[in-house]
């Protein structure tokens, strides 16, 4: 047995190196710094989840900006009608007031949900 080992030691060394390299390649997945927490390292799937969350949040904020711009357009349109001397449009004023009320209520509800979700995250992770 010792003679066989002495004769084939290079083959055994290459085999052990190959097994070690394959184990390293398979077991050690690539990691990068998190988008939200720079101290945490994440893998590809976790990075995709964070990216999807950021994209979803940005889409929600863009929708909110669109609503605000639409409200601003309604208010400016009604102001221009009044300035031009055309007859008073009570339906337009009521619509603008309802839109303002709806946006403020929606913003308040979103704020409550976000605060509640953040409090749950803090409680689950036991951080700050």
CA distance 34 to 114: 21
Structural domain contains residue 81 = yes
Structural domain contains residue 7 = no
Q: Considering the entire predicted model, what is its pTM?
A: 0.47
Structural domain contains residue 111 = yes
- Bridge-partner residues for 32, per DSSP? 42
Residue 50 has pLDDT above 80, yes or no: yes
pLDDT of residue 52: 92
Structural domain contains residue 57 = yes
Domain enclosing residue 118, as ranges: 26-125
Query: Which pair of structure tokens corresponds to residue 110?
Result: 């979103």
Structural domain contains residue 9 = no
Structural domain contains residue 1 = no
Structural domain contains residue 87 = yes
User: pLDDT, tens digit, for every residue of 69-104?
Assistant: 888 888 888 777 777 776 666 777 788 788 888 888
- For the chain, how many structural domains are there in total? 1
CA distance 82 to 76: 10
């Amino acid at each position: 047995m010792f003679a066989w080992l002495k004769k084939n030691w290079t083959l055994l060394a290459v085999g052990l190196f190959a097994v070690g390299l394959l184990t390293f390649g398979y077991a050690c997945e690539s990691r990068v710094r998190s988008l939200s927490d720079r101290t945490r390292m994440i893998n590809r799937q976790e990075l995709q989840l964070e990216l999807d969350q950021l994209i979803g949040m940005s889409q929600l904020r863009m929708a909110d900006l669109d609503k605000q711009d639409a409200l601003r357009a309604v208010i400016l349109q009604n102001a221009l009608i009044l300035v031009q001397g055309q007859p008073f449009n009570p339906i337009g004023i009521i619509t603008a007031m309802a839109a303002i009320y709806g946006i403020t209520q929606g913003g308040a509800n979103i704020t409550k949900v976000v605060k509640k979700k953040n409090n749950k995250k803090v409680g689950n992770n036991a951080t700050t």
